[in-house]
Each structure stands twice: as structure tokens, then as C-alpha cells.
Amino acid sequence: MTDALPPPPVPADCDLRGLPFMPLHIDRLQKSKAWLRCKRTPALAFYLLNLWMRAWQEAPASSLEDDDDVLADAAMCPPSEWATVRDEALRGWTKCSDGRLYNPTVAELARDAWEERVKYRQRTEAARRAREEKRNSNVAENATEAKPPRKSSVTEKAPTVTTSVTALKGEGQGEGQGECKGKGQGEGQGYLEGSVPSERTRAASSPAAPVVISPGNGVSSDSEGDPVLPQPPLALNLPSDDAAAIAMRLCDVSPPGGDWRKALYRQGLDYLARATGKKPDRMRGFLGAQLKALQDDPRAVFDILAEAEQREVAEPVAWITRAVATRAGSSGQQQAVADDKALMERIDKAMTRA
């Protein structure tokens, strides 16, 4: 009965397909009774090895379907001979509750390999998440640094009419008292004693033309109803090249003089650093390898980087490497066709001259 059969010796999701390596303990095999029987029947060793290798690539690993046609095919044994060698070839195999045959030695090796594969996948996933978090953090920091400040001390609020009138009133009182007690004393009271008038104060104290509030001339009024002159725009103290690099994507870059190599190692390197979370110096070697693969064509590498940025790929290094390899392969085929065509033309010319 199926219920009385033992459970499988490996997890149900144990899948080693894609892993071409299977351990073979030579000393353990040579001392086994199965290999002792193979000394008397060498063909049996061929069948055993084929069964072990097929079971390694099955799912679950170390198992085979309990069907004579499948087993004979897995052992690479002629169907007419399978009935005579079946018992010897399947000695030690156990039928489990899932209806499949398992080899205990192959199952032991498969469990160890499966545990290593699971650990590797967990490490890879953790590293991928860490890179993604770091990349998102760097993008957020770059976006914050690129935002211009709201206000700057460079631009101050323009003097209002009230400020000008107050300053003129103080100067007028000072000059009026100066006629009785001396102009020097009057001017000292007009401004604070012992202080040097600032540029803003001197501008406010000078006679000003009346200001007319009108939507057409850009003059508005403050909360007290006084007119406020328009303020000059705030200027960022950034070099023109850096400011353009912040706002420009790779697909919009057009280097002056067609210097794509400079653009690749500037805007392209900056994109790789932001996308991978690594320092630009660590990505220079990667760019050099892609240039070498595309026969030192910086424009081609730059176009691939621009496409990666536009697609917002999650793994830019792997994606760019595959794209470069694909383009390099197509370029190689085109070059081979061109070489063959040139060779045929030279042969035709030689035959024509002959």
C-alpha cells in the first residue's frame, strides 16, 4: 500500500536542474558492493552511472519514475536486455510514498547540494535588496541636493515707500536741528551716532520717485498696504555645466564637438554611480571593459547606458553587459560578412586580370 511506503529522503522542492556537477566519492564507490558486482559485469557499471546521473537532474533530485520504459531509457539500456539487468541495476533503490524510486546515496549528496543552493539564493536576494535600498537612498539624496534653496541672503526685500519716508524724515529732523546746533550734530541724530550708514540705508535716504501700484508694472503691496518693488530672481551659484548635468538625462546629452568619450566618463559614469550605489572610480573599469568589447566605440556604449536609464532597469550592470555582448556579436557578424565580400571582390579582380 502507498501509505506504508517511506517518505521521500529529500524535500519535495529539491531541484538541482541547471547544476551540472555531481560529486563522485571515488574511494567510497570502489569499496561498495555495487562496484564489486560491476567487476564481474562491466556493462552494469555503465547502467548504474547513467541512472545516478539521470536521477540527479530529476525533480525531486535523486529520484526516477517507476516505469520500465523510463528506467531503461535513463540507463541507456536496450529494452530487450532491461528485464535481465533490472534487479541488479536497481539494487538499493527505494520506492517512496510519492510513487518514485530513490537512491539513498544520491539523495544524501542531493540534500547537501540543495542546502547550499538555498543559502546561495538567500545571500543573493539579501545583497540585491541591500543594493536596491542603497540606490534608492542615493537617488533621494541627489534629488534633495539638486533642489534650489527657497530664499537666499543674496536677495533682500526691496525698500518700501514707508522705509524711504521714515529715513527721509529722520534725515530731515537731523538737518533741521543742525541749523540751530550745528550741522554735524544734526546729521549725527539723523543717523545713529558712531555708526556708518549702510548701502541699504543710503539708498533708502536718497530721494525716491513716487511708486504707482499697478499690475502691469510688477509692483505689489505688502500686508500694510505699502507698495513693494519687484525682487530680482534668485541665482544658483552653480557652474553652467554642473547645473545642466543635474537636470539632463543621458538621452538628452549632446557633447560639444562630438566628444562622446568625455560624455561617457562624465554623465555616463555619474549615472552608473547613482544606479549602482558605488563610487564612480569603481565603475571606470566596468566602462573600460564595455569600450573594449565594442571596439573602443564610446558613442555605442553611451547609447546603451542611455537606454538603461530610460528603461530604469533594476540591475544596470548585468543589463548593460548583456546589451554590449549582443551588440558586439552582431557587429562581429557584420564585420565577417564585410570581410568575406571584400575577399570575393579581390578574387574576382584577380581572375579578371588573369
Closest to 245 (Cα-Cα) out of 128, 145, 352: 145
Q: Identify any residues that bridge with 227 across adjacent strands, giving them in sequence order.
A: 221
Q: Are residues 175 and 250 in the same domain?
A: no
Residue 125 pLDDT > 50: yes
Nearest-angstrom CA–CA distance, 129 and 52: 38
Average model confidence (pLDDT) across the chain: 75
Residue 221 lies in a domain: no
95 and 195, same domain (yes or no): no
Residue 241 has pLDDT above 70, yes or no: no
- The residue behind cell 559614469 is 269
Residue 152 lies in a domain: no
- Cell triple for 112: 547537501
Would you say residue 155 lies in a domain? no
Own/partner long-range contacts of 293-297 (Cβ < 8 Å, ≥24 apart): 293/324, 293/325, 293/328, 294/324, 294/327, 294/328, 294/331, 295/328, 295/331
Q: Is the pLDDT of residue 311 over 90?
A: no
Per-residue pLDDT at 314: 83
Choose the weakest-confidence range: 51-55, 149-153, 301-305, 314-318: 149-153
Range of the domain at 245: 240-353
Is the pLDDT at 55 greater than 90? The verdict is: yes
Give the total number of structural domains in the chain.
3
Q: Are 251 and 306 in contact (CB under 8 A)?
A: yes
From 5-19, 110-124, 138-152, the region with the lowest mean pLDDT:
138-152
Q: Can you give the pLDDT at residue 223?
A: 53
Please provide the DSSP assignment of 235-286 as one string: -----HHHHHHHH--GGG---GGG-HHHHIIIIIHHHHHHHH-S-HHHHHHH
Average pLDDT over residues 122-130: 90
Give whole-number Cα distances, 233 to 117, 219, 230, 296, in Å: 61, 15, 9, 45
Same domain, 182 and 278: no
Cβ proximity of 268 and 291 under 8 Å: no
Q: Is the pLDDT of residue 157 over 60?
A: no
Does residue 222 lie within any of the structural domains?
Answer: no
Q: Please check whether residue 153 lies inside any domain of the structure.
A: no
pLDDT at res. 201: 47
Give pLDDT, residue 331.
60
Q: Give tens-digit pLDDT for 170-226.
A: 544 444 444 434 444 444 444 334 444 554 445 445 554 554 545 555 555 555 555
345: in domain: yes
- 258 and 317 in a single domain? The answer is yes
What global pTM score does this model have? 0.39
**Cis omega (within 30 of 0) on the bond before 60?**
yes
